[in-house]
Structure 1
Amino acid sequence: MKKLGFLLALILCLLVFPKSVDAASSGAAIYLDGQQLNLSSGVKVDNIKGNVMIPIRVVSENLGFDVRWDKSSRSVTVSSSDKSVRMVVGNAQAELDGELVDLNLPPVLSGDTTLVPLRFVSQQMGLDVKWDNAAKAVYLTSPVPSSPDAGTSPGSGGGSGTDSSAPGNNADLSTLTGISFSDNRLMISTEGTVAPSVFPMKGPDRIVVDLPNTAFSEAFLADHVMNPSSGGEMAVTDYPDVAKIRFALFSHSPSTVRVVIDLNGPASYGVTHESGLTIVDLNAEGDMVIPPVPPVSGSGKKIVVIDAGHGGSQPGATSVTGKSEKVMNLDLALKVEALLKNEKNIEVVMTRSNDSTLGLKDRVKIANDLKADIFVSIHGNSSTSSSPNGTETYYTRDASKQLANVIHKHLAKATGLFDRGVKYSSLHVTRETKMPAVLLEIGFLSNKGDEAQLFNEDFQNRVAQGIVEGIKEYLK
């Protein structure tokens, strides 16, 4: 029923497509639950007498239905596990589970392709459809299942449009404020009371996180590109188990945000949820809820949060040769992470380990919710003048001053650049964190001399080692 519903959804478009749609719509893109259908070469949506038509091969290639073509009767039969539709070229009636139903326009032959009218199937299923005339795109949204196992599309879309995705439509809604993927862990930050539901699904393999009574925060919507059906995604390149992360407003009643980890195969995971931070840990053994990382004391491991500044839609400063600060920040942060993982008494957590967008509040929230021992944010400096150069370290609270002094001592020595010293500044990530926190400005991307070093592999390795030495000395 589900798959046939997707097919039936295609015909719904006629009900919402404006009559003025002309042959230009033949190049329209089709999005199913937020994911664009990758049509084969030469396959296109067509318009005949004001009726939107779709090639029948899309049904089998993109939606996975069983499609049988009978050349002698010029009929096509589309079947799912519990439903069957038979249509005949030129016949204005079709058989739906043996019952005759009228078609607004019969199927037609176009060369060696059979085109079917969208309206017929749309009348059978109450699916939401949006037509973006400017983008010439069709957005289809499948119904929300009654339970996680009901078998809808894998959380890649949902909802009936962008209007209800914005916070503020319901004052009682919680909000999703940030998503990041680091160290094979998905971290989701929320504000308000949220009871996440986490479960695996197959065909394909994925892990689904549903956040009921939740909408996207305004800050999240501003930082992430969302398609008209309220969906978006984040690429993951460094972890072989994960293909990508997707997120969408899955349902309006109740408002439910769904986040999906698309897997390349079956994977075990553990779940932590505490104080507005949900972590799906793919390093865990078995599908189970694991306790949150506890505050460290005595002989336990120290928790160090490493924050690679900027990322995603926030590139940071641009260097004199056109390179992005976010790239340098991440490269260096990953080197620091690798070194800290060799320290048996330190647990390192990254706010991001790929090119993802993360708000300042979310970076702080990760550290605070984990009750980290220290927080280190890595940045590259910049100025409107090419003259300023050198390394400097910032802190905000008195509790962070000793950390700033210790790390800067090692950092300045490692960079070999002009030592600009330790400075006070009221920065969000160093002000709102509850543990000692510093922000490191490694060098100036706007200075030719500094920039020549900042993207150098040997330089970064040396600086990463210096930062780690500072962290170790401070933590004793």
Structure 2
Amino acid sequence: MKKFAFTLLLLLFVLVLPEHGHAAAGNKIYLDGQELTAGQDAPVENVKNSVMVPLRMIAENLGYKVDWDQKSKTVTIEQQGKTIKLIVDQTAASVDDKTVILTAAPVARAGTTLVPIRFVSEQFGLTVTWDNAQKTVNIITPETGGNNTGSEGSSGDGGSTVVVPPAESTSGLTMVNGISFSQNRLTIAMDGSSAPNITKMTGPDRIVVDLPNATFSDVFGSGQELDPNLNGKLAVTDYPDVSGVRYSLYSTSPYTVRFVIDLNTSKNYSLEVSGDASKLVVVDLNAQSTEDTTTQPGNNGRKLVVLDAGHGAKDSGAVGVTGKYEKNFNLAVVLKAAELLKQENKIDVVLTRSDDTFLELKDRAGMANKLKADLFISVHANSSGSSAASGTETYYQREASKELAKVMHKYLVKATGLSDRGVRYGNFHVIRETTMPAVLLEVGYLSNKGDESLLFSETLQNNVAASMVSGIKEYLGM
């Protein structure tokens, strides 16, 4: 019966490969040595050397349960206890709650979702290989039942996957969740007890950070670049000391995650580790020496402001009426505000995240507390079950933050031009657990079509960033 199901799956490929489909031209597919030829004008494409076929059609013809979430662009397939989730235009998929990093993201075409043929085949227990010389995909049905994932990790047609090591093989390991580089500081977010080993090297100049007994977590690949060999890099701009940051699962015996800060010139550093179970590792290149931290932000007589872009990576935040993600709005505004604050000679600014990274709420608050910041400002966009909800709100949790909320809100309302929904009390973690005046800005409602359009305009984002600087300066008496 299972053999029949496998054969049916591949016969369906016959139905979906167009005879003269230019997108898939040059790629031949063989089932147990027999070529599958085209038969029907259905959407099949070659995306970045990855043969893409309509997953929804295949799943429905096999009798699988398929659910589609229009807001999050997520398709969920369930069959015999297996659950697969894929998101359009995102390389992070989920198989039974285990993150799988695709080398080619699913794409939406004509009301269906296209996915790499290798991914589809291997999830149904088939062995898939690629002959680069002949440009052929070879699919082999297993001799017995059970799951055979075959040549997982080969580059093939571009549809291969990187599977984050399953829980049973990583028990007790520290999980690296994300990284960012801002203000000449590398920040690594992780869960676990790994103690970083750091080495300054020459020829070329670089700083190497090893995290022993660690691996990348399921969420890492959804926020950062991660190739099939668990290598990646983080582009660094606007910091002349650093040309880039590389990272990899350096070893599996023992497990070690390595980060390399490539330097343009020799630099000293300071190392800070904060938190308990969830930790932040900060390699600060602003230090004069490995022992001297007098140039830490806020230690030079300047006021330190921590800006927090809400959500990130796997946590998209609110999803707008046209599918836009709150996390992207939050980050865009914070980056613009940070650039403006850098021009102020009496203010230092630190970002909790400078890219699409996931951080726990306690890590965001913990970073500000560890740095002994003067102010903490978290940027968000709101959502409501009613599409009519619109306007701007500012939240505080502690009485010591109320005056800051009033000042920030005054400028924010003017910047958005949206209705004034007032300064409000809110028991949010990041403004409750911080020890300095802290506010959370809800700039507008993504559930409102008009608000959403405005929030994702360059003009509005620039205005909000400028209003944040004005509010900070007034509150600090500058």
TM-score in same-fold range (> 0.5): yes
Q: CA distance change for structure 1 residues 230 and 250 in 2, over 3 Å: closer, same or farther?
A: same
Distance (Å, rounded) in 2 between the aligned partners of 1:184 and 1:437: 24
Identity %: 50
Partner of 1:212: 212
Distance (Å, rounded) in 2 between the aligned partners of 1:366 and 1:208: 22
Q: Report matched runs for 1:236-385 at 5 Å.
A: 236=236, 244-262=244-262, 265-266=264-265, 268-275=267-274, 276-282=279-285, 288=290, 290-291=292-293, 300-385=301-386
Report the secondary structure of 1:311's partner residue: coil
The answer as to whether partners of 1:304 and 1:375 remain within 8 angstroms in 2 is: yes
Distance (Å, rounded) in 1 between the aligned partners of 2:440 and 2:407: 13
Report the secondary structure of 2:471's partner residue: helix
Distance (Å, rounded) in 2 between the aligned partners of 1:423 and 1:405: 9
The answer as to whether partners of 2:326 and 2:380 remain within 8 angstroms in 1 is: yes
Q: CA distance change for structure 1 residues 446 and 294 in 2, over 3 Å: closer, same or farther?
A: same
Partner of 1:169: 171
Structure 2 regions of 5+ residues with no counterpart? 1-30, 36-48, 51-100, 104-128, 135-148, 157-161
Distance (Å, rounded) in 1 between the aligned partners of 2:185 and 2:253: 29
Shift of 1:457: 3.2
Q: CA distance change for structure 1 residues 474 and 23 in 2, over 3 Å: closer, same or farther?
A: farther
Q: Report matched runs for 1:18-417 at 5 Å.
A: 133-134=151-152, 136-137=154-155, 162-163=164-165, 169-170=171-172, 174-190=174-190, 194-200=194-200, 206-216=206-216, 220=220, 229-236=229-236, 244-262=244-262, 265-266=264-265, 268-275=267-274, 276-282=279-285, 288=290, 290-291=292-293, 300-417=301-418
Higher relative contact order (CA 8 A, sep 6+): 1
The answer as to whether partners of 2:334 and 2:379 remain within 8 angstroms in 1 is: yes
Report the secondary structure of 2:454's partner residue: helix
Q: CA distance change for structure 1 residues 459 and 193 in 2, over 3 Å: closer, same or farther?
A: same
Q: CA distance change for structure 1 residues 475 and 21 in 2, over 3 Å: closer, same or farther?
A: farther
Distance (Å, rounded) in 2 between the aligned partners of 1:324 and 1:262: 32
Q: CA deviation digits over 1:185-226, x for unaligned, max 9?
A: 211234555542223557876532112244455665776675
Amino acid at match of 2:473: K
Q: CA distance change for structure 1 residues 372 and 133 in 2, over 3 Å: closer, same or farther?
A: same
Q: CA distance change for structure 1 residues 200 and 282 in 2, over 3 Å: closer, same or farther?
A: same
Shift of 1:259: 1.9
Distance (Å, rounded) in 2 between the aligned partners of 1:234 and 1:208: 14
Q: CA deviation digits over 1:169-191, x for unaligned, max 9?
A: 23xx5554442222332112345
Report the secondary structure of 2:330's partner residue: helix
Report the secondary structure of 1:411's partner residue: helix
Distance (Å, rounded) in 2 between the aligned partners of 1:471 and 1:374: 8
Report the secondary structure of 2:335's partner residue: helix
The answer as to whether partners of 1:177 and 1:191 remain within 8 angstroms in 2 is: yes
Shift of 1:449: 3.1
TM-score (norm 1): 0.58
Q: CA deviation digits over 1:344-391, x for unaligned, max 9?
A: 222110122233443434323322221222211112223343211110
Report the secondary structure of 2:271's partner residue: strand
Report the secondary structure of 2:356's partner residue: coil
Distance (Å, rounded) in 1 between the aligned partners of 2:411 and 2:357: 29
Distance (Å, rounded) in 1 between the aligned partners of 2:268 and 2:345: 23
Amino acid at match of 1:309: G
The answer as to whether partners of 1:414 and 1:463 remain within 8 angstroms in 2 is: yes
Partner of 1:61: none
Distance (Å, rounded) in 1 between the aligned partners of 2:168 and 2:369: 26
Query: How many pairs align?
Result: 339
Amino acid at match of 1:179: I
Which protein shows a greater Rg?
A: 1
The answer as to whether partners of 2:224 and 2:357 remain within 8 angstroms in 1 is: no
Structure 1 regions of 5+ residues with no counterpart? 1-19, 29-33, 37-51, 56-109, 112-130, 139-159
Shift of 1:419: 0.5
The answer as to whether partners of 1:178 and 1:359 remain within 8 angstroms in 2 is: no
Distance (Å, rounded) in 2 between the aligned partners of 1:53 and 1:404: 59
Report the secondary structure of 2:447's partner residue: coil
Distance (Å, rounded) in 2 between the aligned partners of 1:296 and 1:239: 20
Q: CA distance change for structure 1 residues 227 and 379 in 2, over 3 Å: closer, same or farther?
A: same
Distance (Å, rounded) in 2 between the aligned partners of 1:227 and 1:342: 37
Q: CA deviation digits over 1:27-84, x for unaligned, max 9?
A: 99xxxxx9x9xxxxxxxxxxxxxxx9999xxxxxxxxxxxxxxxxxxxxxxxxxxxxx
The answer as to whether partners of 1:373 and 1:436 remain within 8 angstroms in 2 is: yes
Q: CA distance change for structure 1 residues 419 and 174 in 2, over 3 Å: closer, same or farther?
A: same
